[in-house]
A and B are shown apart, each in its own frame.
Chain A
Amino acid sequence: MNYHWNWGIFLEQVKSGDETYVDWLVTGLGWTLAVSLTAWIIALSIGIAVGALRTTPSRLLVLLANAWVELFRNIPLLVQMFLWFFVVPEFLPRDWSLWVKQDMPAKEFVTAALCLGFFTSSRVAEQVRAGVGSLPRGQRDAALALGLTLPQAYRQVILPQALRIVIPPLTSEFMNVFKNSSVAFAIGVLELTFQARQMQEDSEQGIETYLAVTLLYFICAFTANRGMALIEARTRVPGLIARTG
């Protein structure tokens, strides 16, 4: 089979309107960034809380937090997208359900960001738990002996150290968020993968299309990696972590 290369395709107009293909890809990149960054904020807030709960002495809290992690880890992300998009609205009270189905603005985006955020929160929780577990027991004991309550000990002593320790594994989770955001195409978010499929069908220049999109994902992952490395360098716990990479 012969392939007809056409690198000028990106500046050509799409068949179905007056935009160019570059416009499609830029829109795609915008939605990919929006979904990923929103999801990452959700994942961090919930993940840190759930991860910390898994290390508390309360058996009930540990059980609930473990259940949370197992729930989101054992269902494929794509199925979770469908669950949030089609199934969750059915469980809401009637008025809410109607609003979500008919009037909610940017429904696809909100659903995808929530879904990816909750999914990633279970992975963040796993790392945070490991981070807290890696602290010397004496840190917790000393904090409590000084008269801090358990929540205070977590806020002032345990979490500030644990979170800095887990930055390297969180870096790869952050990069995973950008990769996983591609699954949002399935519920109609106009992100990069959605645009790639659309452009491939519309232009029939699949290889150029996928090369461009692959490059854009690379840039996202690389930027995320460097950004986290910067934070890691700034927040290193003195005398605790050996300098790496």
Chain B
Amino acid sequence: MGEFDFSVWQPSLPFIRDGLLFTLRLTLVAMSGGIVIGTLLALARLSPIAPLSRIAGAYVDLMRSIPLVLVILWFFLVIPFITGSPVGAETSAVITFTAFEAAFYCEIMRSGIQSVPRGQVDAAQALGLGQAQTMVHVILPQAVRNMIPVLLTQTIVLFQDTSLVYAIGAKDMLKAADVVGKNYNRPVEMIMLSALIYFAICFSLSLAVKQLQKRVAIIR
């Protein structure tokens, strides 16, 4: 057994807090952006306009078949060519995760929309609602409600995946733990601390999702 010195946890806390704040910000921005873009992608995939649905489908399949680390590296490389000037690792991470998660939220929203009974659409049209109104007022609210637990589970996965910004050196929680570990020459204790924090957050969130799942069960 090695000898551990956990006293390094105390001075590391301010750095861990700053890192965690970035991790949380990244998660929240990518989640909101991802859900909005993902829903638009899902609508495109389900649209009767063939080119639109094909483009959306190709984008989703592409994102889902490449390792996330590679997507992070791709965006970090390509974004400067599009914007014309170098962007920081943090900005690049936000753009990457929003674009990447959109593909996954799209699939969730698509199955959510498809899970709404056909009669709902018929009833909405019988009431005189237009296509867009039917989507916004009838289908989407039910689709989102049915999919809330799955959307949140995907967000827990996203929260864990943000640690991969390590590949481009963005300053998230893991990076903070890494830096403190190097400065105090206590890398082992700092890895254990970050593992504990990730576990505590993800485990309690997944318990909460399970509770929620029972309460928002599909009402038919």
Known: A76-B160, A78-B174, A79-B163. A210 touches B73 (CB 8 A): yes
- From residue 192 to 220 of chain B, which have CB atoms closer than 8 A to chain A? 192, 194-195, 198-199, 202-203, 206
- A126-158 CB contact bits vs B (8 Å, 1 = yes)? 000000000000000000000000000000000
Establish whether residues B1 and A94, one from each chain, have CB atoms under 8 Å apart when the complex forms. Answer: yes
- B64-77 CB contact bits vs A (8 Å, 1 = yes)? 01111110011001
Q: Is B167 an interface residue (CB 8 A)?
A: yes
Q: Is the interface of A mostly helix, strand, loop or mixed?
A: helix
| Residue in chain A with minimal CB distance to B81 | A1
- B1-30 CB contact bits vs A (8 Å, 1 = yes)? 110100000000000000000000000000
Query: A122 to chain B: which residues have CB within 8 Å?
Result: none
Q: Is A120 an interface residue (CB 8 A)?
A: no
Query: 6 tightest CB-CB pairs across the interface, nearest first?
Result: A90-B2, A182-B67, A74-B202, A76-B160, A76-B163, A179-B67
Known: A87-B191, A200-B77. A74 touches B166 (CB 8 A): no
**Candidates A74, A86, A193; contact of B206 at CB < 8 Å:** A74
Query: A78 to chain B: which residues have CB within 8 Å?
Result: 163-164, 166, 174
- From residue 169 to 226 of chain A, which have CB atoms closer than 8 A to chain B? 175, 178-183, 185-186, 193, 196-197, 200, 206-207, 210, 213-214, 217-218, 221
Smallest CB separation, B110 vs chain A (Å): 16
Query: A5 to chain B: which residues have CB within 8 Å?
Result: none
Q: Is B187 an interface residue (CB 8 A)?
A: yes
Known: A1-B81, A1-B84, A207-B77. A75 touches B198 (CB 8 A): yes
- A86-117 CB contact bits vs B (8 Å, 1 = yes)? 11011111100100000000000000000000
**Candidates A92, A200, A210, A221; contact of B65 at CB < 8 Å:** A221
Query: A73 to chain B: which residues have CB within 8 Å?
Result: 202, 206
- B122-152 CB contact bits vs A (8 Å, 1 = yes)? 0000000000000000000000000000000
- B165-185 CB contact bits vs A (8 Å, 1 = yes)? 011000000100000000000
Query: A183 to chain B: which residues have CB within 8 Å?
Result: 67, 69, 164
Interface size class for chain A?
Answer: 35 or more
Query: A92 to chain B: which residues have CB within 8 Å?
Result: 1
Known: A180-B67, A186-B166, A193-B67. A75 touches B202 (CB 8 A): yes
**Candidates A83, A94, A181; contact of B195 at CB < 8 Å:** A83
A110 to B25, CA, bound (A): 35
A202 to B187, CA, bound (A): 29
| Residue in chain A with minimal CB distance to B201 | A74
13 contacts between A and B (CB under 8 A): A1-B80, A74-B199, A75-B195, A76-B164, A79-B163, A90-B2, A97-B2, A193-B73, A196-B73, A200-B73, A213-B70, A214-B74, A217-B70
Establish whether residues A76 and B70, one from each chain, have CB atoms under 8 Å apart when the complex forms. Answer: no
Smallest CB separation, B186 vs chain A (Å): 11
Smallest CB separation, A176 vs chain B (Å): 9
**Candidates B65, B78, B81, B199; contact of A75 at CB < 8 Å:** B199
Known: A182-B70, A217-B70. A74 touches B203 (CB 8 A): yes
A76 to B197, CA, bound (A): 11
Q: Is A82 an interface residue (CB 8 A)?
A: yes
Query: B80 to chain A: which residues have CB within 8 Å?
Result: 1
| Residue in chain A with minimal CB distance to B178 | A82
Query: A89 to chain B: which residues have CB within 8 Å?
Result: 2
A73 to B187, CA, bound (A): 23
Establish whether residues B202 and A185, one from each chain, have CB atoms under 8 Å apart when the complex forms. Answer: no
Establish whether residues A76 and B203, one from each chain, have CB atoms under 8 Å apart when the complex forms. Answer: no
**Candidates A74, A80, A182; contact of B69 at CB < 8 Å:** A182
Establish whether residues A75 and B160, one from each chain, have CB atoms under 8 Å apart when the complex forms. Answer: yes
